[in-house]
Amino acid sequence: MSAGSVFKKCGCRAPVFNVDGSPALDAAGKPRKKRIGLTCPKLRRGAGWNPTHGMWHFQLEFRLPTAGRQVVAHGGLATRLEAEEQLATVRNLLAIADRLPDDAEAVEKVKLDIIARIRRDLADTHRLPDYDAVRRAIAAGQPLADRMTVGQWLTQWLAARTDLAASSRRVYTGHVEQYLVPHLGSIPLDTLRVHHLNRMFDAIALQSAQAESDNAARRAAEQAAKAAWRCKEWEAAREARQQLATLPPYRPVCGEATRARIRATLRSALSAACAQQLIVVNVAALIEMPAGRPPRARVWTDERVARWRETGELPSPVMVWTPAQTAVFLERAERHRLCALFQLVAFTGLRRGEVVGVRWVDIDLPARCLTVAQQVIQLGWETAVTAPKSESSERDVPLAGPLQAALAEHRQRQEADEAAAGKAWVDSGLVLTHPDGTELHPAWVSDQFHALAREAGLPPIRLHDLRHGAASLALAAGVDMKVVSELLGHSSTAITRDIYTSVFTPLKRQAVDAVAAALAAARSAPAEQPDIDEQDAA
């Protein structure tokens, strides 16, 4: 390979003369001029170079067996040293190919890829590509000329994650498509830095705050319209509806917990990129951001219910009924064809997908035991039957006496439905079905729950919050934390403790009452006088 050369030239121009010595003219009749380049007398100052005129360049020329003559050149450099260093860097980059296995065709292809990458980077950034990044890309078999972006890598990484559960894939896809690609997708993967991530999360937080403000304004306008309509204040109702029409629709709020999960998705993707030697550092592991805690559950006390009826405001996104309120709901649910479904959730704390997916083969009524062996998850509107959420979610759940009786009664009702449906009956094997035996849609189950709660005159909670209530009631009754954790299918008691012990407070009240009683006893007891030695008394 040619050793290459460095040289200095400028952009000065000199007149062009014809053979007879007359000035050469262009098509417009103006004198033609040409660049002097290397021969400009101003480039030199005495025996040395003129530091104020011209720029330094380098050029490397060589031949490849098939592709022929190749030239790599670049200029606009301030010093000769800089030009020599860049020439040496180009030679080192091309030498990476020479260390490949002895396959002339493969070596030539890699050299052409390196040349294309050098030319592209010089054109885009006026910098040569990083030596280590090129070496890693070649070792990993990644394309050089087409520089991989963050968006391309995220798409490739997600497609390769065949081990993901359908629900997890949906979450990861949402993070990638809604947040990561719009903010980071065009950035070259090997140039992703911490400041890019900080800028993305700042923008997401700002958008989330605006969405929260817009949602609150829309909610207030809806409540004003309903209040005016109830009071027959038609003009006020009309104005509230007009205001509502000018407000943006409800938008999801990306809180701290969601942003933490977005970061976790990016961190997993970049970890895979590190494993393939596409990048050296996982920048998602370097940023500092709040861990993001899920909202704490709150109980619908009388005061909170009164405030909600007055303003429509929820004290927390996660609300739980008191035992008395749950009893009111179950009393209303007894008239529903699927009352056993709501009893299962309220008594055992089963997840929605678990209760929809339970089969008769999973229930041993004489032994009063239910085995959680599958679940029905919702993917958009489509549903899928999958294994339980985690290994710890595959569990045996004991059935209380009333629940055993409710399931036995439900079985008789389902047998009557089967007889009435005749040939139209669908033998799904599920415990909870439509009258023709077909499976229930999880969203339909939630709609039924909300309708029953409204009919019972109860404040709103989610169907999942019946699970909160079951866990908290068990803890308040003195059931061991480990037992409750296993009942719910949690992987550790820490999860149970963090989520559910904040809901009902009898256990805490017992603790503070015990402290108060001990202090009261200490205050009322006569003070004991120390024994005094006779010699000390003297």
Residue that wins the pLDDT comparison between 290 and 318: 318
Query: Distance between CA atoms of 275 and 136, rounded to whole angstroms?
Result: 11
- Mean pLDDT, rounded, for 204-215: 91
Helix (H), strand (E) at residue 333 = helix 323-333
Strand 382-386, strand 375-379: pairing:
antiparallel
* CA nearest to 465, candidates 508, 503, 507, 506: 503
pTM of the model: 0.62
- For residue 135, what pLDDT is reported? 87
CB 74 within 8 A of CB 33: no
% the chain with pLDDT above 70: 89
Residue 533 vs residue 307, higher pLDDT = 307
pLDDT > 90? residue 468: no
What percent of the chain clears pLDDT 90, i.e. is strictly above it?
A: 41
Query: How far is CA 277 from each of CA 23, 134, 190, 274, 374, rounded to the nearest angstrom?
Result: 61, 10, 10, 5, 39
Q: In this predicted structure, what is the pLDDT of residue 25? A: 84
Q: Treating both helix axes as pointing N-terminal to C-terminal, what angle do 493-500 and 465-476 enclose, rounded to 10 degrees?
A: 100
Which of 22-26, 31-35, 368-372, 382-386 has the highest mean predicted lDDT (pLDDT)?
Answer: 368-372
- List the one residue out of 160, 133, 157 whose CA is nearest residue 278: 133
Alpha-carbon span 480 to 247, nearest angstrom:
50
* Mean pLDDT, residues 404-412 taken together: 94
- Looking at residue 538, its pLDDT comes to 39
How confident is the model over 250-262, as a mean pLDDT? 88
pLDDT digits (tens, 9 = 90+) for 48-79: 899 999 999 999 999 998 888 899 999 999 99
* More confident: 489 or 53: 53
Which amino acid is it at 34? K
Q: Sketch out the chain's domains with CATH numbers.
A: 5-144 (no CATH), 151-285 (1.10.150), 298-511 (1.10.443.10)
Determine which helix (DSSP H) or strand (DSSP E) holds 291, and give its type and residue range: none
Binned at pLDDT 50, 70 and 90, residue 529 comes out as low
Structure-block tokens of residue 159 = 């497609």
Give the number of other Cβ atoms within 10 Å of residue 407's Cβ.
21
**pLDDT for 534:** 45
The phi-psi region of residue 141 (left if phi > 0; otherwise alpha if psi is between -120 and 50; otherwise beta) is left
Conformation bin of residue 161: beta by default, left when phi > 0, alpha when psi is -120 to 50: beta
Tell me which of 116-130, 341-355, 421-435 is least confident. Answer: 116-130
pLDDT band at 494 (very low <50, low <70, confident <90, very high): low
**Better pLDDT: 313 or 412:** 412
Residue 535's pLDDT band, with cuts at 50, 70 and 90, is very low
Range among 102-111, 254-263, 357-366 with highest mean pLDDT value: 357-366
pLDDT at 17 over 50: yes
Tokens of 500: 């559910």
- Higher-confidence position of 16 and 86: 86
What is the distance between the alpha carbons of residues 371 and 349, in angstroms, rounded to a whole number? Answer: 13
d(CA 265, CA 515): 46
pLDDT of residue 306: 93
> What is the model's pLDDT at position 421?
93
Q: Judging by DSSP bridges, how do beta strands 382-386 and 5-9 pair with one another?
A: unpaired
pLDDT at 532: 47
Q: For the residues 445-456, what does the mean pLDDT come to?
A: 95
Highest mean pLDDT among 125-129, 440-444, 504-508: 440-444
Residue type, 294: P
Phi-psi region of 68 (alpha: psi -120 to 50; beta: other; left: phi over 0): left
Checking if the pLDDT of 382 tops 80, the result is yes
Are the C-beta atoms of residues 402 and 429 closer than 8 Å to each other? no
Give which of 327, 358, 328, 325 is closest to 341, Cα–Cα: 358
Distance of CA 318 to the CA centre of its chain: 21
Do residues 37 and 55 touch, judged by C-beta distance below 8 A?
Answer: no
Please give the pLDDT value at position 525.
64
DSSP 368: T
Enclosing H/E stretch for 244: helix 234-246
Specify the pairing of strand 33-35 against strand 13-15: antiparallel
Instruction: Please tell me the distance from the alpha carbon of residue 505 to that of residue 472, in angstroms, as a whole number.
Output: 9
Helices (H) and strands (E) in the chain, counts: 20, 14
**Residue 450 corresponds to which tokens in the numbers above?**
């909300």
Average pLDDT over the chain, rounded to whole? 86
Q: Is the pLDDT of residue 146 over 90?
A: no
* pLDDT on residue 219: 84
pLDDT band at 162 (very low <50, low <70, confident <90, very high): confident
Task: DSSP for 25-40, please give it.
Answer: B-TTSPBPEEE-GGG-
Task: Answer yes or no: are the C-beta atoms of 312 and 219 closer than 8 Å.
Answer: yes
What average pLDDT does this structure show over 446-455? 95
